[in-house]
């Protein structure tokens, strides 16, 4: 929902903790064996708080950081560790860059000996809702209210893009901070469109007309990462939200009865069923992984592909020169939508947390204060062509075509950026939605079946007293 992760999440992602591609390849590790943090938490002796040490870090306390090493690598995290070591030269800093973070750290959560900082991202990541229920994560309020590392006069919370704090908030407590800012849309080659004289569609009717033109030109209008139908859900859900507004989004996230029968959702499902029914999806897309589908798109075998804003970074080694990939916002279903056409689905990814049982909680918070500094975020943007969660991080930079289009989309959306939370809160519902959409676009179930299947999964969760519920 994370490059090479995902939701993601979706968000990725999505679940929504998606950084690229594999965020939902495997279900997040769940917490049947994650125990609640009790009163036996080992005492951490902090340092004296001051203007230079606002979080009370003990200068010689060791710091251990575990980072998901996906498409973004982990060099950006290592640079923040080096800054930490410069400020606290007596502290030993240990770094691990891993592909399977959840698998590595879950036993340590069980043993109450977790690292001080965890980038809980990638396939098999820990289920954050379970960690929250077990009181295994630190409330980040102190960090958010601390002075920004390199922006005098501002608190950390005031330096973040819209929705970043909310994405990591459960029952009023912010327990994760997402370092990258993911925007979901439809990607195309600006060079191909210019060459063919095609114009990016603003409405779904225009999209279908263009798809017919593209098909007649011998190019598949769309492909998608078929093994992970979450990718196709992003534009479907975005279209639905634009139609039904935030009330639709809240009804879904709050597990309301008949939420998945709302007209905005069924109309969006019908639109994507029509996309498949008219033959506008590249043949064989269902069997493709994210890398295979994206490679075919880069080879101009298809004109559109749905993806989050990590796509450019993930494809950097295989994108042909002059391809000029850009992201467009999801076309409006109709002129009567409750959200403007510029509205985008956006959320954080690369999800950082400080375990409640960490030996050096203050150090973990200070590390995040350094990581989320503007200098750190700007360097990340330059290296990865990805929008960080820190506002203004790309100011003054010469941006690539992809990152420039993402930045422009966020600017145009202004206050109309939104995000579904159910993927983060309820992993089983996220899987039910993904599975149903995969069946829908491969013409094995009807829109009515799609709606009924997902609503059944939502209702089951709503009635399950063992599942902690969240509302917005």
pLDDT over 60 at 18, yes or no = no
pLDDT over 90 at 195, yes or no = yes
354 contacts 368 by C-beta, under 8 angstroms: yes
Mean pLDDT of 215-221: 98
Establish if 88 belongs to a structural domain. Answer: yes
Do you find a cis peptide bond into 253, omega within 30 degrees of 0?
A: no
187: helix, strand or coil: strand
Establish if 463 belongs to a structural domain. Answer: no
Beta-carbon contacts of 113 under 8 Å, excluding residues fewer than 6 positions away, are: 357, 359
Positive or negative: CA dihedral 427, 431, 432, 434: positive
Mean pLDDT of 235-249: 98
368 contacts 160 by C-beta, under 8 angstroms: no
Mean pLDDT of 209-225: 98
65 — pLDDT class (breaks 50, 70, 90): very high
Structure-token match 């819209």, residue found: 162
The more confidently predicted of residues 66 and 29 is 66
pLDDT over 70 at 423, yes or no = yes
130: helix, strand or coil: helix
Q: Which two tokens stand for residue 319?
A: 């994108």
What does the pLDDT read at residue 36?
Answer: 57
116 contacts 358 by C-beta, under 8 angstroms: yes
Is residue 166 located within the same domain as residue 247? no
Is residue 284 located within the same domain as residue 399? no
Q: Which two tokens stand for residue 442?
A: 């491969």
Torsion angle (degrees, nearest 10) of CA 386, 387, 388, 391: 160
What does the pLDDT read at residue 250?
Answer: 97
pLDDT tens for each residue of 335-390: 889 999 999 999 888 899 999 999 999 999 999 999 999 999 999 999 988 899 99
119 contacts 19 by C-beta, under 8 angstroms: no
pLDDT tens for each residue of 246-276: 999 999 999 999 999 999 999 999 999 999 9
pLDDT tens for each residue of 445-472: 999 999 999 999 999 999 999 998 999 8
Question: How far apart are alpha carbons 26 and 37 in whole angstroms?
Answer: 26
The more confidently predicted of residues 144 and 21 is 144
pLDDT over 60 at 199, yes or no = yes
* Domain residue limits at 150: 13-182+346-418
Residue at a domain's end among 379, 400, 418: 418
Query: What count of other Cβ atoms lies within 10 Å of the Cβ of residue 95?
Result: 16
7 contacts 17 by C-beta, under 8 angstroms: yes
Is residue 230 located within the same domain as residue 331? yes
Residue 375 — φ and ψ, nearest 5°?
-60, -45
Q: Which range has highest mean pLDDT (35-49, 257-271, 301-315)?
A: 257-271
Is residue 111 located within the same domain as residue 199? no
Is residue 163 located within the same domain as residue 250? no
Question: How far apart are alpha carbons 24 and 45 in whole angstroms?
Answer: 39
Residue at a domain's end among 344, 368, 403: 344
Is residue 208 located within the same domain as residue 357? no
What does the pLDDT read at residue 336?
Answer: 85
Pick the closest to residue 24 from 114, 135, 102 (CA basis): 102
Is residue 171 located within the same domain as residue 31? yes
- Report the CATH number at residue 131: 3.40.190.10
Is residue 330 located within the same domain as residue 366? no
Structure-token match 């690229």, residue found: 20
Mean pLDDT of 298-319: 94
Is residue 60 located within the same domain as residue 90? yes
Is residue 237 located within the same domain as residue 164? no
* 351-368 as b/e: b if 16+ CB within 10 A: bbbbbbbbbbbbbbbbbb
What does the pLDDT read at residue 3?
Answer: 35
What does the pLDDT read at residue 228?
Answer: 93
405 alpha-carbon distance from chain centroid: 18
282 — pLDDT class (breaks 50, 70, 90): very high
pLDDT over 60 at 24, yes or no = no
Is residue 248 located within the same domain as residue 170? no
pLDDT over 70 at 417, yes or no = yes
Mean pLDDT of 150-170: 93
Return mean pLDDT, the chain: 90
Q: Which two tokens stand for residue 458?
A: 């939502």
Alpha helices in 56-144, H assignment, sequence order: 75-87, 101-110, 128-133, 141-144
Question: How far apart are alpha carbons 333 and 264 in whole angstroms?
Answer: 9
Establish if 443 belongs to a structural domain. Answer: no
243 contacts 337 by C-beta, under 8 angstroms: yes
Structure-token match 């698998």, residue found: 103
Positive or negative: CA dihedral 81, 310, 395, 162: negative
Structure-token match 């902690």, residue found: 468
What does the pLDDT read at residue 90?
Answer: 97
Mean pLDDT of 227-249: 97
The total of structural domains in the chain comes to: 2
Pick the closest to residue 141 from 172, 107, 108 (CA basis): 172
Question: How far apart are alpha carbons 85 and 82 in whole angstroms?
Answer: 5
Query: What count of other Cβ atoms lies within 10 Å of the Cβ of residue 165?
Result: 20
Establish if 366 belongs to a structural domain. Answer: yes
Residue at a domain's end among 418, 433, 461: 418
436 — pLDDT class (breaks 50, 70, 90): very high
Q: Which two tokens stand for residue 232?
A: 């196709």
pLDDT over 60 at 37, yes or no = no
314 — pLDDT class (breaks 50, 70, 90): confident
Establish if 141 belongs to a structural domain. Answer: yes
What does the pLDDT read at residue 123?
Answer: 72
Q: Which two tokens stand for residue 167?
A: 């994405």
Is residue 169 located within the same domain as residue 155? yes
129 — pLDDT class (breaks 50, 70, 90): confident
Question: How far apart are alpha carbons 328 and 206 in whole angstroms?
Answer: 14
């Amino acid at each position: 929902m994370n490059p090479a992760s995902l939701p993601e999440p979706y968000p990725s992602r999505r679940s929504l903790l998606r950084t690229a591609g594999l965020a939902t390849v495997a279900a997040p590790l769940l917490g049947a064996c994650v125990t609640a943090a009790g009163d036996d938490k080992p005492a951490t002796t902090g340092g004296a708080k001051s203007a230079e040490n606002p979080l009370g870090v003990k200068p010689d306390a060791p710091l251990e950081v575990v980072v998901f090493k996906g498409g973004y690598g982990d060099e950006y995290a290592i640079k923040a560790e080096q800054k930490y070591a410069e400020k606290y030269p007596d502290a030993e800093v240990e770094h691990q860059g891993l592909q399977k973070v959840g698998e590595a750290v879950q036993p340590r959560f069980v043993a109450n000996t977790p690292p001080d900082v965890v980038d809980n991202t990638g396939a098999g990541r820990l289920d954050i809702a379970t960690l929250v229920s077990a009181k295994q994560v630190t409330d980040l309020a102190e960090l958010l209210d601390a002075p920004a590392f390199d922006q005098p006069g501002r608190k950390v919370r005031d330096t973040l893009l819209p929705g970043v704090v909310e994405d990591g908030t459960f029952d009023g407590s912010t327990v994760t901070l997402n370092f990258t800012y993911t925007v979901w849309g439809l990607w195309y080659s600006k060079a191909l469109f210019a060459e063919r004289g095609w114009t990016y569609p603003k409405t779904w009717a225009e999209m279908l007309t263009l798809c017919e033109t593209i098909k007649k030109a011998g190019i598949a209008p769309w492909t998608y990462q078929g093994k992970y139908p979450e990718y196709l859900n992003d534009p479907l859900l975005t279209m639905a939200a634009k139609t039904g507004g935030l009330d639709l989004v809240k009804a879904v996230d709050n597990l309301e009865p008949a939420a998945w029968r709302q007209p905005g959702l069924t109309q969006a499902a019908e639109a994507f069923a029509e996309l498949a029914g008219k033959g506008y999806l590249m043949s064989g897309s269902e069997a493709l992984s994210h890398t295979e589908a994206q490679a075919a798109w880069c080879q101009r075998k298809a004109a559109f592909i749905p993806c989050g804003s990590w796509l450019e970074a993930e494809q950097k080694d295989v994108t042909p020169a002059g391809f000029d990939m850009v992201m467009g916002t999801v076309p409006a279903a109709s002129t009567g939508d409750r959200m403007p056409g510029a509205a985008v689905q956006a959320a954080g990814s690369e999800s950082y947390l400080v375990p409640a049982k960490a030996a050096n909680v203050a150090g973990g918070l200070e590390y995040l204060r350094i990581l989320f500094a503007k200098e750190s975020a700007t360097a990340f943007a330059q290296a990865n062509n990805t929008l960080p969660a820190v506002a203004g991080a790309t100011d003054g930079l010469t941006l690539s075509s992809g990152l420039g289009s993402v930045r422009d989309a966020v600017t145009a959306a202004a206050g109309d950026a939104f995000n579904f939370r159910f993927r983060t809160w309820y992993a089983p519902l996220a899987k039910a939605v993904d599975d149903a959409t995969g069946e829908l676009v491969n013409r094995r179930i009807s829109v009515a079946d799609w709606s009924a299947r997902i609503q059944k999964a939502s209702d089951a969760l709503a009635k399950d007293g063992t599942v902690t519920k969240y509302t917005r």
